Amino acid sequence: MSTTNDRVYVARLAGTTVFDPIGDSVGRVRDVVMLVRRSGAPTAVGLVVEVPGRRRVFMPLTRVTSIAAGQVICTGVINLRRFQARGSETLAIAELFERSVKLKEDKSTAHIEDIAIERDHTRTWRVTKLYVRSAERRKGVLGFSRKGETFVVDADAVTGLAIRDKLQGAALVIQTFANHKPADLAAALMEMSPQRSAEIAAALDNERLADVLEELPEEDQIQLLSTLRSERAADVLEAMDPDDAADLLGDLPASEAEALLQLMQPEDANSVRQLLDYDDDSAGGLMTTEPVIVGPETTVATALAMVRRQEMPPALASMVFVVRPPVETPTGRYIGLVHIQRLLREPPHESIGGFVDPAISALAVTDTLAEISRLMAAYDILALPVVDDDNRLLGAISIDDVLDHLLPADWREQTELDVSEEIQTTKGGSDG
């Protein structure tokens, strides 16, 4: 392997494009996989590369032929199995950045901000330098507090590199994904060790964690939920969409699910209990009980303001459902739905009841997934109402709920990536 510089800093490597031998882009570097031991310098064994489809895979450094400014060249052979760190592996950016260490010289504390790796005569990439920030905060000439100074030290000039602080660096990871969709953070948690993903979950607020849980496979949902105290798990379930919370609780043993329901607010628990009574693949089991619901006298302006709420899923925000009071599920008599595109063309002061689409039929709670899919395709629509025998609105089914059940259970693990003819889908991890 050749490099234009003998020393490579991890922070600068992050985001670098990875190319195959013929110059086609494979993906981008997102992290570096390290082996950190109690004694001896940590070694870098591979890269976490984000390939098309936002899948993160492991690329052994033995398959990297060159690291230069702005590019990494690989052999073209990539393992497509989703990366998840093993117990012995540590992610440099996600876990080591912001870790506190002790300087041997004066026993002071510093925090890691960057890591330099170099290849030795055995062709092993070892951590040789640390770019650190002093833990002390000093007052400047005007009396304002400022961060400690930053400097470079040898890796063997510090202690504590292998010691994990439970919440250390979690804020850095969370901040990194602050402007990303929950699915992106969920994908990152899936590649971390169970211990590290639990640490990140502990540091997330309830709303953000609820959004992330909704994007995880069932097994990962259960595993992460099990790391939370029961009281907090109940709070997170309250923050989830009722249909997603019901799906998650339905995968737990009945006694555990009931214990969590008892800890939830009665109103939230009742919504989830209602959904748990239906078959998973029926309209009742697929629906959410929190669509946008209004009375017929509601103005166009008010309805548009309701769908602008940030937490509203795009599919459900594509329409509002018009009912007689009460306007909380189960509602009064269902009147019909109104497309947001229609409302954008109408005067803001007009009542919404005059713009109901008469061509869209409601679903019954017992309708099957096949019938729901057929109607969505026939109507070319993103959400459908679900009513009971008395024509009261119970909820709505969005296209994402349908896709989650139509796709294979392991769809998050699959990919159609075809980087080059040399790509192989052999067993993954850091086996190389």
pLDDT digits (tens, 9 = 90+) for 215-238: 898 888 999 999 999 999 999 999
How far apart are alpha carbons 85 and 261 in whole angstroms? 33
Instruction: Decide: pTM greater than 0.85.
Output: no
| CB atoms inside a 10 Å sphere around CB 91 | 23
Say if residues 325 and 313 touch (Cβ distance below 8 Å): no
Give the separation between CA 210 and CA 232, rounded to whole angstroms. Answer: 11
**Strands of 319-323's sheet in order across:** 293-294, 319-323, 334-339
Q: What are phi and psi of 48, to 5 degrees?
A: -95, 115
The per-residue pLDDT for range 135-160, each reduced to its tens digit, is 765 544 444 445 678 999 999 999 88
Q: What is the mean pLDDT of the chain?
A: 85
Start-end of H helices in 334-389 = 340-343, 369-379
With 60 as the cut, is the pLDDT of residue 268 above it? Answer: yes
The mean-pLDDT minimum among 324-328, 340-344, 415-419 falls in 415-419
Across the range 387-396, mean pLDDT stands at 95
What is the residue extent of each domain of the chain?
A: 1-163, 174-277, 293-406
* Choice between 91 and 300, residue whose per-residue pLDDT is larger: 300
Measured CA to CA, the distance from residue 135 to residue 118 in angstroms comes to 26
**In the predicted model, is pLDDT for residue 167 greater than 60?**
no
Catalogue the E-assigned strands of 158-254. 158-159
What are the tokens at 91?
């992610």
The string over 175-212, giving b where at least 16 C-beta atoms fall within 10 Å of a residue's C-beta and e elsewhere, is: ebbeeeebebbbbbbbbbbbebbbbbbbbbeeebbbbb
Which tens digits make up the pLDDT trace of 340-382? 999 999 999 999 999 999 999 999 999 999 999 999 999 999 9
Superfamily of domain 1-163: PRC-barrel domain (2.30.30.240)
CA distances from 30 to 42, 71, 94, 139, 163 (A): 19, 13, 10, 36, 23
The pLDDT of 22-36, averaged and rounded, is 91
Residue 70 gets the label, from left (phi > 0), alpha (psi -120 to 50) or beta, of left
Per-residue tokens: 124: 């092993």
- Percentage of the chain lying above the pLDDT 90 cut: 54
- Fold of domain 293-406: CBS-domain (3.10.580)
pLDDT recorded at residue 388: 95
Per-residue confidence band for 89, with pLDDT thresholds at 50, 70 and 90 = confident
Sign of the alpha-carbon torsion through 205, 208, 210, 212: negative
What pLDDT does 68 receive? 84
Tell me the average pLDDT across 2-27: 83
Whether residue 79 has pLDDT greater than 80: no
Res 19 pLDDT > 90: yes
Whether CATH 2.40.50.140 fits 174-277: no
pLDDT of residue 421: 38
Residue 129 buriedness (CB in 10 A; 0-12 / 13-18 / 19+): middle
- pLDDT for 169 equals 61
- Of residues 52 and 350, the one with the higher pLDDT is 350
Per-residue pLDDT at 136: 63
The answer to whether 378 and 415 have CB atoms below 8 angstroms apart is: no
Reply yes or no on whether the pLDDT at 243 is more than 60. Answer: yes
